[in-house]
Amino acid sequence: MGYEMKKSIKDIDLKKKKVLLRVDYNVPINDNGEVEDDTRIKESLPTVKYLLEQGCSLIMMSHLGRPKGKIEPKYSLKPVSKKLEQLLGKKVIMAEGIVDEKTKTVAYELKSGEILLLENIRFDSREEKNDENFAKELVSLVGKDGVFVQDAFGSVHRAHTSTYAVAKFLPSVAGFLLEKEIKYFDKILNSPERPFVAILGGAKVSDKIEVIDNLMNKVDAIIIGGAMAYTFLLARGISVGNSLVEKDKVDLAKDLLKKAQEKGINLFLPIDHILANKIDKDAQTKECTVVDIPEGFIGVDIGQHSIDRISGIIKGAKTIVWNGPMGVFEIEKFQNGTKQVAILVAQATENGAISVVGGGDSVSAVKKFSVADKISHISTGGGASLELLEGKVLPGIDVLQNK
């Protein structure tokens, strides 16, 4: 992967520089127009504070939601600027636009230690087209002596104007958050301590095919849960009742099972289940202590035998990557499997394992079950972390300067 060779903000002189800083402030905003979860904003603060300590003036950019290249007030970054101001205890100037004349004037006059947050970068239709002219306009805000700092891990898998094209026109380096993400993924993918265990869940096999494929060359064991497990069980000729399956992916699941066998990788599928007649908090549920699921029932979580079986595997691991829940954990009756896995990963980490949790649902799970502070690294980018696990080159990191 070689990403550990990318320059970070510690590797260049930033004294009094104007910095174009790409952050990932794509955060949930509630109906009152307030930021509901400020995790991503908090994660960017070490970079922001370091740049301010260097006397930089910051022009920050982010997207929010999918406004599809036009101005949509509900996707404005105004609530974000208020939250950033609160967290920093420092004034943040909120721009009215992106590269309009008024914003340009504010940017040109920005003094050392001042912060300007541009309006949602996706309000300009050129952002998602990786447009060089738009990039030049953004770069003009900091001038030819400026620097580009990339700290939006959640966006580096996309080659957009603010993540890729701008880096061609300025010295471009990683911020602390991006550096931390690179460090952990580099470690688990290129020099993991063994045993290395991957825990994969979620609804669809199709979302994780390339991840499974790539990890098979690296891990010692793969644990599969969530709805994607039923496609694998079906591939083994096991009845799955009315569980969610991707019938068109059964042959592919067969190929992956065969590949695991050939490579001598232990691939663990559920051996018992929690069943429901529908996916609803008022559903009738029952334990199914065997692997076959009767007609009329849906598998919604892994059962106790499955948990017992994987418990030693997880606790004995030295490197763990977890992406995707074991069941419909949003509903209390169906959350035990995901909860137990979260606790096991936390215990393994306390015993010296390196654990990396990525993907929105797994991140929600470790927070929900209060073990987030016991995980080595919680990734801030769902799509980006998946693509790294797939072994892909991420354009927004690739374009940064090498050490």
Indicate which residues carry an active-site annotation.
40, 204, 360, 383
Q: Give CA–CA dist 118/65, Å, rounded.
A: 15
Q: Are 361 and 202 in contact (CB under 8 A)?
A: yes
Task: Determine the 3-state secondary structure of 245 from DSSP.
Answer: coil
Q: Give CA–CA dist 81/100, Å, rounded.
A: 19
- 219 backbone dihedrals φ, ψ, rounded to 5°: -95, 165
The amino acid at residue 58 is: L
Is the four-CA dihedral 268, 271, 272, 274 of positive or negative sign? positive
Q: Are 29 and 39 in contact (CB under 8 A)?
A: no
Q: How far is CA 100 from the centre of its chain?
A: 32
Q: Give CA–CA dist 169/401, Å, rounded.
A: 12
DSSP E strands: which ranges in 257-378?
Answer: 266-268, 273-276, 285-288, 298-302, 319-323, 354-357, 377-378
- 314 backbone dihedrals φ, ψ, rounded to 5°: -70, -45
Token pair belonging to 247: 């019938």
Which stretch of DSSP H or E encloses residue 340? helix 336-350
- 177 backbone dihedrals φ, ψ, rounded to 5°: -65, -45
- 91 backbone dihedrals φ, ψ, rounded to 5°: -65, 135
Torsion of CA 244, 247, 249, 254, to 10 degrees: 100
Nearest-5° Cα angle at 168, 164 to 171: 110
Q: Give CA–CA dist 328/15, Å, rounded.
A: 50
| DSSP3 helix / strand / coil % (the chain, rounded to 5) | 40, 15, 45
Nearest-5° Cα angle at 246, 240 to 252: 105
